[in-house]
Structure 1
Amino acid sequence: MGRGEREVVARGARLHEAALAVVADHGRAVEAARAALKPLHDAAVARELGAIPVARLQDVTEGRLRLGSVEKSGLRTVGSVLDAGPYRLRQIPGVGQRTVDQMLAAARRLSEAVHETVAVHVDVDRPEPRTTALVMALHVLVEAGPEARRAVDQATGLAERLGPLLVDARPAAGRVRMLLAGREKRARAEEAVAGVRALVDEAERAGLPELFAQASVDLLRGVSSDVAAWVDFELRSAEYYSLLAEISGRQPDAAAAEGFLPDEIAERVRTQHLDDTHRRISLRGYQAFGARFALAQRKVILGDEMGLGKTIQAIAVLAHLAAEGQSHFVVVCPASVLVNWTREIEARSTLRVMVLHGPDRHDAFADWKGRGGVAVTTFDALRGFPAPGGGEVGLLVVDEAHHVKNPKAKRSQSVALWAERCARGLFMTGTPMENRVGEFRNLVRMLDGTVADSLGERDALAGSVAFRKAVAPVYLRRNQEDVLTELPSLQQTDAWEELSASDEEAYREAVRAGNFMAMRRAAYVRPETSAKLHRLREIVQEAGENGQKTVVFSYFKDVLGVVEEALAAGTPGATPVFGPLTGGVPAQRRQEIVDAFAGAEGPAVLLGQIQAAGVGLNMQAASVVVLCEPQIKPTLEHQAVARAHRMGQVRPVQVHRLLATGGVDERMVKMLETKARLFDAYARRSAVAEATPDAVDVSDTELARRIVEEEQARLGMTDERPMTTE
């Protein structure tokens, strides 16, 4: 054994130390988050127990306890009984030791149940030291991202393999030690050195030393400030809540998270490997299961309820297949979500994206064929491209798949042909299909003719459990209430739309006139071809089909009029529309409208002018909020969303902000995401900011002038009229 062997052992020891270090760094970060969570969880448990009447102890003991004297003594809740303890309970007249023992045992059982089920919610509008500590602790893990988790997994496996080899190779670390070792130990050391060399070489080729070092740096970096952590929480709340659920240990019911699939299918899905090399986001447990389901079953429909992250699950499947060597993928979607798909893939993965849309789509198609990546196109554009040969496309993703339920439609026939030619298919729809067997069968037939032929009307009549069992090989659906144990109280989505040709024409007219307000509402001037209006109708329809109520806000009364007319023009039995609430509606009448909206059975839509309806009204009956355009004052958006997202809201609130690409909306969003907006996001929490929001908002006039001038320059209209805001 010479210098080369000693160097191999030294390299192995350094790598082993780095692996153990990153595992320890991650463990400390997790423990810090658990420590920050504990006082908040304990307080939530105490509040819950303090709200449970002492009479509930009768239920636990099947009526054996007599609690009249206990209540008369002032102990009226389960929490107060636990706080009192055995000594004080024994002092109550008529309460003996046996009753005390039974009472405390029953109270502890209730307490254990509450500990298991109570969830901690982070109120972004009322931060206090304990929640700030939790957000800052979670921020470290969120910022480290999935790369840190991958580093920890790799480090754990490597340390387990490398540790025993280093022990056996120890004699080789020194010449004298090797000489003094017996023959058997020398042979074992030589074999171990070879094993260490192989492991170290493999790890270095995979870039593991750099991965471990970067992960440790990320986990030890800490947070620059509590403000930075809160800002990040608002931007990425879903990732924070995902970590919170994992750290708290309160995962959703396994059967619900797995869509109540039969055991044999669920087991196959659980054992499916999921590679995260090309993914930039961590998945919640149910999301990872959904991605594995698509991989294990090859051709499936993902029917999760709106807000559960179907797009992220699809991206996880794409990333896995790319890691396996697949190079070409296709996403087909309505034009209204084309931009969203492009931005999500770019933000959530390292995959190359190519948009096949517009006049240059055939050139883009040729480029995609040659270079690969994820091609994102529309139903109509897909018809113009030649269907692939077998094995050419790694995965066909079809978003809003209910749009191709009619087999006679040309778009449906085109999708069916592509699905037949692709080895894997992932259809996505948030529309519940249990009671639409005919339509559902048409979708299933594109993926699996055998399952489609076996699916009869009786399956739906027998109830959703029988239906899901019949379609289990191809269909997975989860509902929010089943899988979100730590409910993210607010999910915000920027819905980017490409303006239609007539939208663009109306926008150019407004820019030419230098009319800032006209530019902001140009997307609604021609309703019959409005891209934003089309997307709004889709959101309202999907919310309605899931039994949810929606509030639609706009700064402009005429935009609300257009929305009202468009929604009212729906099919008979369409979602009822209330409002609009505008500045001209008396305060009492506004509340009457809100009450009628809240009291309506089933889905409903409430329209409101954001500066009138966004303050002072409680709209917590709604769990979906649509903002027709971005607001100049961020406080207007915050206050409007707060009308629905407030105490008493039992469902997470989904906020969709409709934005048009390439114009005034995009410029406003970029300007308002600067330091001025970050300052506002926190200054607004102070008493002064709540009373005088204008004090911290960006100047309306200055912002408008800059945007008009920049848009006129972009569109070659520098000699046009100066800005107006009428």
Structure 2
Amino acid sequence: MGRGEREAVARGLRLYEAARGVAGDHGRAVEAVRAALRPLHDEVVARELDALPVARLQDVTEGRLRLGTVEKSGLGTVGRVLEAGPYRLRQVPGVGQRTVTQILAAAARLAEAVHETVAVHIDVDRPEPRTTALVMALHVLVEAGPDGRRAVDRATALAERLGPLLAAARPATGALRGLLAGAEKRARAWAAVDELRSLADEADRNGLHESFAQASVDLLRPPDELAAWAGFELRSAEYYSLLAEISGRAPDTAAAEGFLPEEVAERVRGVRLDDSLRRVSLRGYQAFGARFALAQRKVILGDEMGLGKTIQAIAVLAHLAAEGREAAGERQAAGGRERFLVVCPAGVLVNWTREIEARSALRVTVLHGPDRQDAFADWKERGGVGVTTFDALRGFPAPEADEVAALVVDEAHSVKNPEAKRSKAVALWAERCPRALFMTGTPMENRVAEFRNLVRMLDPGVADALDGDDGRGGQAALGGSAVLVGSVAFRKAVAPVYLRRNQDDVLTELPSLQQTDEWEELSASDEEAYGEAVRAGNFMAMRRAAYARPEKSAKLERLREIVEEAGQNGQRTVVFSYFRDVLDVVRQTLASGAAPVFGPLIGDVPAARRQRIVDDFAATPGPAVLLAQIQAAGVGLNMQAASVVVLCEPQIKPTLEHQAVARAHRMGQVRPVGVHRLLATGGVDERLVRMLERKTRLFDAYARRSAVAEATPDAIDVSDTELARRIVEEEQARLGMTDASPTASG
């Protein structure tokens, strides 16, 4: 029992106390969040119960209760029943003790269900002491960051390991203790001393004492109210993610796992995600998405817009880079020699570069512009993440097998046509890379076959397993049941390569989305312009005829009212249109208003300039308006600063509208979003809206986790050209222009 043994035990004890200290500091920070959350959550529960009619008690008693007299007595909601209690209920005529017991038991069950499901929403525009306390408590944990979380996790695991070792090593700390202990205990003590020494040495090498001390400093730092609210508005997703984790009201597990078959989900759960090169925490469903890509190797991540597909992709790359560095047995520069390639539309190239740099320690090289070949050679030599565009990819030599560790393709629906040159280039790279992650919130639009084309690039076997009738199980007949069976079978067949989650399933804290169709009667001037477009057979002119004569435009007048109302409420507005000339008219119309107008964001605006316009719009204090061409700005750019969205006209493809709305209503949004779609009664708008509804039902059946009531064969394969021709002919017939041109020109 020498000095060395005592010193080893003393070092182990110091490490144990440091680990317990940081774990305790974290526990107190978590408890501060729970304490701040409790009264807010109780208030939400009470409000929900007060809104539940007492008739809902029948839902949990299979209709056995007679509640008429209870309701007539003034106890019309579940909340009032619980507040009344047994004595008040017994005073209701015709209600006996047995009924009282049943009513209260049913009410308690509903209250428990509400308690487990409701979420607290934090209103940044109406801060009050209780929400401020919650935001400040969350701010402490958010500011501690991933490094703090890692330190706490290590400390917790280390404390659990050190406690029993210190107890076992006690006989080695003194001669008398050693003599009094039996041979078996002395042997265990020596083994424990050796392990304590090893753990202390490892802690010194990894700087654990310093990381524990820093974590404690961060967790004990008094939060600043202004900094906390500013942090919440900028990074609300992180705050809400922590809140869901601490409250235990995380999204439904099955929903977070995309309702995958159990055998696939089980394999994914077994993947351990390395976060050492990642700078941000993941939400539960995001971590599952990253593990899905790692477990299945070549997949499509089809999460709905706004769920953070980019950070999931970065998590995959950071994991692979850390794994490669560890396998090499050396501490290289972040990312080591591993090579990863991200292919994306030009408009989001800057956004990808920013996200990788901000959210990981990976090296980024932009493979775009006049020097892209030199940049490509540098990336191949030094490794890291190369970011390029679909068009630039065609100019680079395809890699040798396994030369590039992973390929990420953003907005992958852009390569759904297998005959296109960009599609062939992506397919070749996907074949040569051991891992590929295709990302798209819109995996199919008009034809399910397009989705199969994406699957074929990743797993020809799965693609071949999909039958030849657009996944409908050979059912071409009209009717909901046939399509439902086909869509369920389709999703099951693609489960090994396809994961999709929807906002409603996993973002319980997302502010409300209110969509309003603003139907306007065309003015006489509008009608005249529309009639001219119909007579000419010009489909595109028909779609924008409501803006052809701005001085008498009913849609423009309504748009001005919406923007002015938003401005009076201090809200920012994004205005989308398919047409550049419509955006020009809107800009001229709004130029005299109080709110500054930014844009328009159109296809030929360079990517960096697009991002600057969005940044300037977001940085403007008070109301502002951003004009954007829907097919250019509906991809990749995040516009959470906006809480009002205006669609100048309905789109031919529902996915264009979905993408545009999701740019504002997405994870990170902290205010409710109002969407106004400007529609003209009669004519092309009404016909397009009906087509949109049919296309959306088809998309829901095959790409989302939702049943579909009905769909028709022509909802699947009507082309845009055919749709335009049909609408032109129908409108010409409706307006009695049978001698007009039947063409559908643009």
User: What is the TM-score with the length of structure 1 in the denominator?
Assistant: 0.71
1:417 and 2:428 aligned: yes
d(CA) in 2 for partners of 1:577 and 1:171? 91
Matched residue, 1:475:
498
Per-residue displacement from partner, 1:117-161 (whole Å, max 9, x unpaired)? Answer: 211111111111111111111111111122222222222222222
Match of 1:630 among 587, 592, 617: 617
Q: Secondary structure at the match of 1:427?
A: strand
Once superposed, what is the RMSD of the aligned Cα atoms? Answer: 3.6
Matched residue, 2:183:
183
Give yes or no for contact 2:50–2:77 (8 Å, CA) kept in 1: yes
1:459 and 2:498 aligned: no
| Residues 218/629 of structure 1: CA separation in 2 closer, same or farther (3 Å cut) | closer
Offset of 1:579 from its aligned partner?
Answer: 7.2
Q: Tell me the amino acid that sits aligned with residue 383 of structure 2.
A: G
Matched residue, 1:284:
283
Offset of 1:299 from its aligned partner?
Answer: 0.7
Q: Secondary structure at the match of 1:126?
A: coil
Matched residue, 1:692:
none
| Residues 267/185 of structure 1: CA separation in 2 closer, same or farther (3 Å cut) | same
- The farther-off stretch of 24-33 and 329-338 is 24-33
Q: Secondary structure at the match of 1:315?
A: helix
- The farther-off stretch of 114-123 and 50-59 is 50-59
Matched residue, 1:711:
none
Give yes or no for contact 1:6–1:172 (8 Å, CA) kept in 2: yes
Matched residue, 1:355:
366
Give yes or no for contact 1:49–1:79 (8 Å, CA) kept in 2: yes
Matched residue, 2:195:
195
Give the 5 Å matches for 1:218-233. 218-223=218-223, 225-233=224-232
Per-residue displacement from partner, 1:191-234 (whole Å, max 9, x unpaired)? Answer: 111111222222333332222222222111131x2111111000
Give yes or no for contact 2:301–2:437 (8 Å, CA) kept in 1: yes
Q: Secondary structure at the match of 2:501?
A: coil
Offset of 1:81 from its aligned partner?
Answer: 1.1
Matched residue, 1:82:
82
1:486 and 2:509 aligned: yes
Per-residue displacement from partner, 1:481-517 (whole Å, max 9, x unpaired)? Answer: 1222232569xxxxxxxxxxxxxxxxxxxxxxxxxxx
Per-residue displacement from partner, 1:413-464 (whole Å, max 9, x unpaired)? Answer: 1111111111111111110438733212221121111111112235244443
d(CA) in 2 for partners of 1:303 and 1:577? 36
Q: Secondary structure at the match of 1:329?
A: strand
1:214 and 2:201 aligned: no
- The farther-off stretch of 184-193 and 334-343 is 184-193
Give yes or no for contact 1:577–1:605 (8 Å, CA) kept in 2: no
Give yes or no for contact 1:434–1:467 (8 Å, CA) kept in 2: no
Offset of 1:652 from its aligned partner?
Answer: 13
1:590 and 2:558 aligned: yes
d(CA) in 2 for partners of 1:423 and 1:26? 40
Give the 5 Å matches for 1:74-113. 74-113=74-113
Offset of 1:324 from its aligned partner?
Answer: 0.3
Give the 5 Å matches for 1:595-614. 609=590
Give yes or no for contact 1:434–1:464 (8 Å, CA) kept in 2: no
Per-residue displacement from partner, 1:368-393 (whole Å, max 9, x unpaired)? Answer: 12211111111111122222222221
Give yes or no for contact 2:413–2:440 (8 Å, CA) kept in 1: yes
Give yes or no for contact 1:291–1:316 (8 Å, CA) kept in 2: yes
| Residues 631/213 of structure 1: CA separation in 2 closer, same or farther (3 Å cut) | closer
| Residues 159/147 of structure 1: CA separation in 2 closer, same or farther (3 Å cut) | same
Give yes or no for contact 1:614–1:643 (8 Å, CA) kept in 2: no
Q: Secondary structure at the match of 1:283?
A: coil
Give yes or no for contact 1:303–1:431 (8 Å, CA) kept in 2: yes
Give yes or no for contact 2:278–2:318 (8 Å, CA) kept in 1: yes
Give yes or no for contact 2:53–2:77 (8 Å, CA) kept in 1: yes
| Residues 342/610 of structure 1: CA separation in 2 closer, same or farther (3 Å cut) | farther
d(CA) in 2 for partners of 1:391 and 1:590? 57
1:388 and 2:399 aligned: yes
Per-residue displacement from partner, 1:676-696 (whole Å, max 9, x unpaired)? Answer: xxxxx9xxxxxxxxxxxxxxx
d(CA) in 2 for partners of 1:46 and 1:477? 34
Matched residue, 2:441:
430
Matched residue, 2:257:
258
Per-residue displacement from partner, 1:211-268 (whole Å, max 9, x unpaired)? Answer: 2222222111131x21111110000011111111112212222222111211111100
User: What is the TM-score with the length of structure 2 in the denominator?
Assistant: 0.69
Q: Secondary structure at the match of 1:634?
A: coil
Unaligned residue ranges in structure 1 (runs of 5+): 491-546, 552-568, 596-603, 616-625, 646-650, 658-680, 682-726
Q: Tell me the amino acid that sits aligned with residue 243 of structure 1.
A: L
Q: Secondary structure at the match of 1:94?
A: coil
Q: Secondary structure at the match of 2:281?
A: coil
| Residues 587/75 of structure 1: CA separation in 2 closer, same or farther (3 Å cut) | farther
Matched residue, 1:518:
none
1:329 and 2:340 aligned: yes
Q: Tell me the amino acid that sits aligned with residue 21 of structure 1.
A: G
How many residue pairs match? The answer is 561
Q: Tell me the amino acid that sits aligned with residue 273 of structure 2.
A: L
Q: Secondary structure at the match of 1:397?
A: strand
Q: Secondary structure at the match of 1:32?
A: helix
Q: Secondary structure at the match of 1:282?
A: coil
Offset of 1:316 from its aligned partner?
Answer: 0.5
Unaligned residue ranges in structure 2 (runs of 5+): 326-337, 473-482, 519-536, 564-574, 578-582, 597-612, 627-640, 647-658, 671-746
Q: Tell me the amino acid that sits aligned with residue 57 of structure 1.
A: L
Matched residue, 1:294:
293
The structure with higher relative contact order (CA 8 Å, sep 6+) is 2
d(CA) in 2 for partners of 1:636 and 1:578? 26
Q: Tell me the amino acid that sits aligned with residue 211 of structure 1.
A: S
Give yes or no for contact 1:582–1:613 (8 Å, CA) kept in 2: no
Match of 1:439 among 450, 455, 474: 450
1:142 and 2:165 aligned: no
| Residues 177/452 of structure 1: CA separation in 2 closer, same or farther (3 Å cut) | same
| Residues 411/587 of structure 1: CA separation in 2 closer, same or farther (3 Å cut) | closer
d(CA) in 2 for partners of 1:427 and 1:353? 19
Q: Secondary structure at the match of 1:8?
A: helix
d(CA) in 1 for partners of 2:183 and 2:48? 68
d(CA) in 2 for partners of 1:203 and 1:452? 50
d(CA) in 2 for partners of 1:653 and 1:181? 72
Give yes or no for contact 2:546–2:553 (8 Å, CA) kept in 1: no
Give yes or no for contact 1:288–1:313 (8 Å, CA) kept in 2: yes
Q: Secondary structure at the match of 1:433?
A: coil
Which aligned runs of 4 or more in structure 1 are off by greater than 6 angstroms?
547-551, 569-588, 591-595
Give the 5 Å matches for 1:549-698. 589-590=557-558, 609=590, 630=617, 633-637=620-624, 641-643=642-644, 654-655=662-663
d(CA) in 2 for partners of 1:611 and 1:160? 67
Q: Secondary structure at the match of 1:355?
A: strand
Q: Secondary structure at the match of 2:399?
A: coil
d(CA) in 2 for partners of 1:573 and 1:106? 60
Matched residue, 2:354:
343
Give the 5 Å matches for 1:494-513. none
d(CA) in 1 for partners of 2:262 and 2:457? 25
Q: Secondary structure at the match of 1:218?
A: helix
Give yes or no for contact 1:244–1:486 (8 Å, CA) kept in 2: no
Q: Tell me the amino acid that sits aligned with residue 115 of structure 1.
A: H
Offset of 1:7 from its aligned partner?
Answer: 1.6
Matched residue, 1:556:
none
| Residues 210/464 of structure 1: CA separation in 2 closer, same or farther (3 Å cut) | farther
| Residues 594/380 of structure 1: CA separation in 2 closer, same or farther (3 Å cut) | same
| Residues 453/586 of structure 1: CA separation in 2 closer, same or farther (3 Å cut) | closer
